[in-house]
Structure 1
Amino acid sequence: MQSLLPLVLDVGIPLASYYVLRSGFGLGEVAALGWSSVVPALRTVWGLVRGTGVNGLAVLILVVNVVGLALSTMTGDPRLMLAKDGGVSSVIGIAMIVSVFLGKPLMTAGLKPFVTKGSAAKNAAWERLLAESARFRRAERRFSLIWGTTLLTECAARVIGAYTVPVHTMVWLGTVLTVVAILLAMVVAGGSCAEPMEKMVQAEAERVGGQRDGRAPVDGAGAAAAVPAVTVPAGTGS
């Protein structure tokens, strides 16, 4: 659980608080979006104060909330109100894809703690692989690309459905589309990226750990290198 704490703080709490405030406490959309922005705003400010840089996921949630506040002013057309919900997925999806091409994949903030499990040895192995393994870097980028593409597809489906499906059907179907998109991204990105990366990190950590334990080096055939025996001729000596 500790390894997933950054993802929970940056994404889970803001999203959960929005729905709780809207459905549980009956707050308006503007008020719910505003209050759910508190945690990511504090996380962003705290990162700047500590000098650790801008928290990408926290900033992304802030941007999404700002977009939601802007779109919430568009009222009167129920289909437009349904279509605007896709704006959240589109902003997140586009940001994830752009971050890959900028060399700073956004989903790494949640992927790395999951792979390394808070282990110092695995964190070090992650950094070595990131610097030395092209395969590892491709998997890291692909993870965010899969999430971004899936969310953009969900956005397109929401917009199309908002103007083609009956409103009363789209009200619940929109939630189903979101859940399916998240589950699909988890399965595809997890199987093709996260699991192979976890195995690579584990192998790298074990390799370095074995070297530090002082294990005997092995030759190309995998057998321990033998030390030649020294034979003392008989009859020598004083």
Structure 2
Amino acid sequence: MTTNTAPQRQSKKNNFAPLIMDVAVPVGSYYLFKNGFGMGTLMALGLSSVVPAVRTAWGAVKERRVNGLAALILFVNVVGLLLSFVAGDPRLMLAKDSAAGSAIGIGILVSVALGKPMMTAALKPWLVRGDTVKEAAFARLQSGSTAFRRAERVFSLVWGVVLFAECVVKVLGAYTVPVDTMVWLGSVIMVVALVLGFLVSGALAAGPMVGMLAAELKAAADRPAEAPTPAFAR
């Protein structure tokens, strides 16, 4: 039995491209401009905003839709740009990054409230793995399964709460913990938050969604093929 892998490769590329363009490119380019080329924070942040800005504008004008993830990253960068004008206080500089990052958690929570959980864009590629059959099953569950849609919301809700709480803790730490300690402690807090987010979202949402997707695939495989319509009945 031969399998055409070209559609799967294309589907996988379509799934991961938004994540790469909206997250990896802006974050990676920021550190490249700042640490690699020695640019200032303001210039590096401004240049790293170009890709999400172009994607957001392209989606709004050409495709007549707004890419939520791209718009959120752009918003975070704009907030960071505005806050970058405030300098001189090291504690304020530590709090600045957390305050800008809290926009991500807030944006995710708002997307849940609007019924369009944003973190699905990050979860779906890991569930379907570029497989068109799994993508079709995923779409059926999205449109017909209340439990599946609830799990989607829970997944985004967990990450929204975790990311927002992380930012709140880091802002409080910026003003209560010695600056030298908070420089490395901030990274520890971030790692702990990410681990917590993976564990909780996996147990409450991603795990059940994997099970529902497997059940839907099995049910689809067990369904009898639809008989062709006889020519005389057409």
The interval holding the TM-score normalised by the smaller chain is 0.7 to 0.9
Alignment partner, residue 100 of structure 1: 112
Closer, same or farther: CA 5–186 of 1 in aligned 2, 3 Å:
farther
Alignment partner, residue 4 of structure 1: 16
Alignment partner, residue 198 of structure 1: 210
Alignment partner, residue 193 of structure 2: 181
In structure 1, how many angstroms separate the alpha carbons of the residues matched to 2:69 and 2:108?
Answer: 10
* TM-score, scaled relative to structure 1: 0.83
The amino acid across from 1:15 in the alignment is V
Find out whether 1:207 has 2:230 as its counterpart: no
The amino acid across from 1:17 in the alignment is S
The amino acid across from 2:34 in the alignment is R
How far residue 20 of structure 1 moved from its aligned partner, in angstroms, is 2.3
Percent identity (aligned): 55
Choose which of 44, 48, 70 in structure 1 pairs with 2:82.
70
* TM-score, scaled relative to structure 2: 0.85
Alignment gaps of 5+ in structure 1: 215-238
In structure 2, how many angstroms separate the alpha carbons of the residues matched to 1:4 and 1:192?
Answer: 24
Alignment partner, residue 230 of structure 2: none
Question: What's the C-alpha RMSD, in Å, of the aligned pairs?
Answer: 1.7
Choose which of 122, 130, 140 in structure 1 pairs with 2:152.
140
Choose which of 123, 128, 147 in structure 1 pairs with 2:135.
123
Does structure 2 retain, via aligned residues, the 8 Å contact 1:89–1:154?
Answer: no
How far residue 6 of structure 1 moved from its aligned partner, in angstroms, is 2.2
Measured against aligned partners, the alpha-carbon deviations of 1:2-25 in whole angstroms (never above 9, x if no partner) come to 443322221122112212222222
In structure 2, how many angstroms separate the alpha carbons of the residues matched to 1:90 and 1:128?
Answer: 33
Find out whether 1:40 has 2:52 as its counterpart: yes
In structure 2, how many angstroms separate the alpha carbons of the residues matched to 1:50 and 1:121?
Answer: 29
Alignment partner, residue 13 of structure 1: 25
Alignment partner, residue 220 of structure 1: none
The amino acid across from 2:154 in the alignment is R
Q: Which protein has the bigger helix share?
A: 2
In structure 2, how many angstroms separate the alpha carbons of the residues matched to 1:192 and 1:8?
Answer: 26
Alignment gaps of 5+ in structure 2: 1-11, 227-234
Alignment partner, residue 124 of structure 2: 112
Alignment partner, residue 226 of structure 1: none
The amino acid across from 2:175 in the alignment is Y
How far residue 213 of structure 1 moved from its aligned partner, in angstroms, is 4.8
In structure 1, how many angstroms separate the alpha carbons of the residues matched to 2:192 and 2:101?
Answer: 13
How far residue 142 of structure 1 moved from its aligned partner, in angstroms, is 0.7
How far residue 146 of structure 1 moved from its aligned partner, in angstroms, is 0.7
Closer, same or farther: CA 50–118 of 1 in aligned 2, 3 Å:
farther
In structure 2, how many angstroms separate the alpha carbons of the residues matched to 1:212 and 1:25?
Answer: 61
How far residue 60 of structure 1 moved from its aligned partner, in angstroms, is 0.3
In structure 2, how many angstroms separate the alpha carbons of the residues matched to 1:45 and 1:68?
Answer: 20
The amino acid across from 2:26 in the alignment is P
Alignment partner, residue 87 of structure 1: 99
How far residue 111 of structure 1 moved from its aligned partner, in angstroms, is 1.3
Find out whether 1:156 has 2:138 as its counterpart: no
Choose which of 57, 70, 80 in structure 2 pairs with 1:58.
70
How far residue 97 of structure 1 moved from its aligned partner, in angstroms, is 0.4
2:87 is paired with a residue whose SS is coil
In structure 2, how many angstroms separate the alpha carbons of the residues matched to 1:212 and 1:117?
Answer: 26
